[in-house]
Structure 1
Amino acid sequence: MTAKIMTLLGTRPEGIKMAPVVKEIERTDNLISIFVNTAQHREMIDQVLDLFQLVPEYDLNVMRPKQRLEELTMRLFQGITPILEKEKPDMVLVHGDTTTTFVGAYAAFLQQIPVGHIEAGLRTNHMYSPFPEELNRQLVGRLATYHFAVTEANKQNLLKENVAEKNIAVVGNTVIDALLEITSRHYQFEGELASIIHSTKKTILVTTHRRENIDELKHVYRAIQRIVEQHEDVQVVFPVHKNPLIRQKVMREFVDMKQIYLIEPLDYEEFLHVLKHCYMVITDSGGIQEEAPALGKPVLVARDTTERPEGIDAGTSKVVGTSEEKIVALCEQLLRDEAAYNEMANAPNPFGDGYSAKQIVHTIQSLAEETRAIYQRNTDEVIYR
């Protein structure tokens, strides 16, 4: 029996992590792929789709300058619902914790279409950390029928929330599938970045973008200043997020700082190859906590909480918060203590082995008849409110 699977995404992280799934669905004989790009992040998602040679069946183009989350939510509902009504998919796949994810899951729920949640079960259990992602993923956890968890710990989070065990599959993270594909390709840096990356200095890759961190970032930036002042053989590559508040703080803190290279956001391919060549990472991103260990790069997490404690437990990452002293101390240790560095760099990556998309699609195939039966039963009984 053939099943129609609708995949929804709209941001760069979603595009990266869903690309292996979309491609696997497209090459599976008994599955029909309906790929919807909401373009929540227009320019950044386009780069990813080009890289993976993916063309959506629908492009909602919802991004607007300075758009509030309320406006974005409204546009997404208005764009997604007519597609669901027209296509009548057997399952809707959403990823992670974005506004596209939440609205897509809720819109499908209102049509009584089963939802599959990829990267399910991540939790900090702090509603505003990260904001709005933590509540988005908790809400999707209630709306979804099927849950594709990255780790056993994620599964346990879902079980604590009374999700049926039969509806949870631990599959690893598709970001590792994408990373291994892209970093296996030959890549040549150009311009100033080529001379930076190929210098003999140890490169610290820095990224910051979390809304809840904005007022505390000055402590992170001062720690970075101290590190480069104390180490002539260290340089920092800092792709600066497009958020105007972040950019303003970064530019103010790092005026004319030698050894610190403030650059525009990198496309996914270039970023991965910078990551591949760097010495270590300081970040408040979630995805990099999974990507860096696959390339043997220690990660210092500049947040007070992380929804990826598996990296902490495995030894690939350490939470440093926004404490200037803690960041400096741990950087000093990793720069001076080879054994401490190797312990983190060589720790096994708990987030995946590169076969997550295949596992997800295999599970979907086994669910095809069940999801079709659920949809048929629900559409026969649906009451519009």
Structure 2
Amino acid sequence: MIKTLIVFGTRPEAIKMAPLVKELQSDANFEVRVCVTAQHRQMLDQVLEIFDIKPDYDLNIMKHNQSLYSVTADVILKFEEVLKKEKPDIVLVHGDTTTTFASALSAFYFKTKVGHVEAGLRTFNKFSPFPEEMNRKLTAALCDIHFAPTKRAKLNLLKEGINEEDIFVTGNTVIDTLKYTIKKDYKFREPILNEVDYTKRIITLTAHRRENFGKPHENIFEAVLSLANEFDDILFVYPVHLNPNVKDVAERILKNHPRIILINPIDVDDMHNLMAKSYLVMTDSGGLQEEAPSLGKPVVVLRDTTERPEAVLANTVKVAGTDKEKIVEILRKLLSDNEEYSKMAHAVNPYGDGFASKRIKDALLYYFGYKNERPEEFKGSDMYV
């Protein structure tokens, strides 16, 4: 059996690793252990409950007002103890969080093989997003096997000197997650969402990134307010991040508007089903840029850069940045021009087909000699290089 230790610490990581945990647990060739760092506590636990994942190890590192320094140090030190006990054949990490980099570094110190799920995303600006861009670049240097979601991500890794034999293009596991969460007659956990008038054009909004703190968030929220005043058939639904840097500004600008609903953060299945009922999505998140197109929803990105250029080329995403006038201009076009909207809504999602976790499993079986033939790669992103 391949002794596999899967580690993650935040809600986005959990959402994307959950289908892989399930896939590997269903195969007798793998002995699976799950370690959570709890870099995010409450939001992580929600995902674990939804997918019925019971971690074998919980490092429980989250502290009030924690810093990148404390998270990094705590993960390295506490994960060392798990490695000593389990002695895994491989550690699987995901994406670009501080948990990702720190646990990969800890595994490297232990001379354990590391596999990187969602490898190769790049903006080529080390401070945007911060600290994620450097987390994923440094993680790549530490890893032995790289699961790139797209052909472009693979090319990024090749340019950094990664051996092509160690890269597998798999699609993104977040598309696999939708198979678990989207339900036709879904009843929301958040009661307010069951009362929403879905005959209106719903716009799901998320905005929480630290590089948007301050004036960028003010610009985003003022653009939302302007659009809510201009179009009386739309309704914004905004699960507001609990960080005071976000929440205080959002409530000051957006509270008490009849066409803007502010709610607390919601579970992943609520979010996926809300997007499924939405007209379009506005976000500064990364994962939503991948998820929403699979549901036929255009995405307006509230960041100046994106590490997911395939979506821009495929026309499932438009990058608006944080300039108020540009955001309003792009949204106004999508709300007023049916042809423009339809082009985005019906574009093919370059990020996956729902079988990324199986491809990763097959790649691991090949890598450890359980299969003789290299597995077939995901081809859906080839035209968007």
Q: TM-score range by the shorter chain?
A: over 0.9
2:85 paired residue number: 86
The farther-off stretch of 34-43 and 352-361 is 34-43
2:120 paired residue number: 121
2:232 paired residue number: 232
**In the TM superposition, what is the alpha-carbon distance from 1:369 to its structure 2 partner?**
4.4
**One-letter code of the match for 1:367?**
Y
**In the TM superposition, what is the alpha-carbon distance from 1:187 to its structure 2 partner?**
1.3
Q: How does 1:16-165 map to 2 (within 5 A)?
A: 16-165=15-164
Q: Does 1:13 align with 2:12?
A: yes
Unaligned runs of 5+ residues in structure 2 are: 371-385
Q: How does 1:185-196 map to 2 (within 5 A)?
A: 186-189=185-188, 191-196=191-196
2:375 paired residue number: none
CA contact (8 A) 2:35 2:58 kept: yes
1:291 paired residue number: 291
**In the TM superposition, what is the alpha-carbon distance from 1:86 to its structure 2 partner?**
1.4
Across the aligned residues of Structure 1 and Structure 2, the Cα RMSD in angstroms comes to 1.2
DSSP-derived class of the 2:368 partner: helix
Spell out, residue by residue over 1:238-277, the C-alpha distance to the aligned partner (whole angstroms, 9 max, x if none). 1001111111111111132221111100111111111110
DSSP-derived class of the 1:282 partner: strand
When normalised by structure 2's length, the TM-score is: 0.94
The farther-off stretch of 150-159 and 18-27 is 18-27
1:282 paired residue number: 282
The farther-off stretch of 361-370 and 295-304 is 361-370
When normalised by structure 1's length, the TM-score is: 0.94
Spell out, residue by residue over 1:58-116, the C-alpha distance to the aligned partner (whole angstroms, 9 max, x if none). 11111111111111112112210011111111111000001110011000101111110
Q: How does 1:166-315 map to 2 (within 5 A)?
A: 166-184=165-183, 186-189=185-188, 191-196=191-196, 198-215=197-214, 216-315=216-315
Distance in 1 of aligned mates of 2:59 and 2:283: 31
C-alpha spacing 1:3/1:255, structure 2 compared with 1 (3 Å): closer
C-alpha spacing 1:51/1:186, structure 2 compared with 1 (3 Å): farther
1:381 paired residue number: none
Q: How does 1:294-373 map to 2 (within 5 A)?
A: 294-369=294-369
CA contact (8 A) 2:9 2:39 kept: yes
**In the TM superposition, what is the alpha-carbon distance from 1:180 to its structure 2 partner?**
2.3
**In the TM superposition, what is the alpha-carbon distance from 1:214 to its structure 2 partner?**
1.1
**One-letter code of the match for 1:283?**
T
Distance in 2 of aligned mates of 1:93 and 1:193: 35
Distance in 1 of aligned mates of 2:255 and 2:321: 24
DSSP-derived class of the 1:200 partner: coil
CA contact (8 A) 2:300 2:319 kept: yes
CA contact (8 A) 2:77 2:106 kept: no
**In the TM superposition, what is the alpha-carbon distance from 1:135 to its structure 2 partner?**
0.4
CA contact (8 A) 2:198 2:277 kept: no
**In the TM superposition, what is the alpha-carbon distance from 1:195 to its structure 2 partner?**
2.0
**In the TM superposition, what is the alpha-carbon distance from 1:336 to its structure 2 partner?**
1.2
Spell out, residue by residue over 1:190-210, the C-alpha distance to the aligned partner (whole angstroms, 9 max, x if none). 6332221x4321111110011
Distance in 1 of aligned mates of 2:117 and 2:130: 19
Distance in 2 of aligned mates of 1:79 and 1:204: 41
Distance in 1 of aligned mates of 2:81 and 2:40: 21
Distance in 2 of aligned mates of 1:19 and 1:133: 21
Distance in 2 of aligned mates of 1:72 and 1:186: 40
- 1 or 2, which has the higher helix percentage? 1
- Report runs of 4+ in structure 1 exceeding 6 Å deviation: none
Distance in 1 of aligned mates of 2:127 and 2:322: 16
Unaligned runs of 5+ residues in structure 1 are: 371-385
Instruction: Percent identity, please.
Output: 46
DSSP-derived class of the 2:118 partner: strand
The farther-off stretch of 182-191 and 348-357 is 182-191
**One-letter code of the match for 1:345?**
A
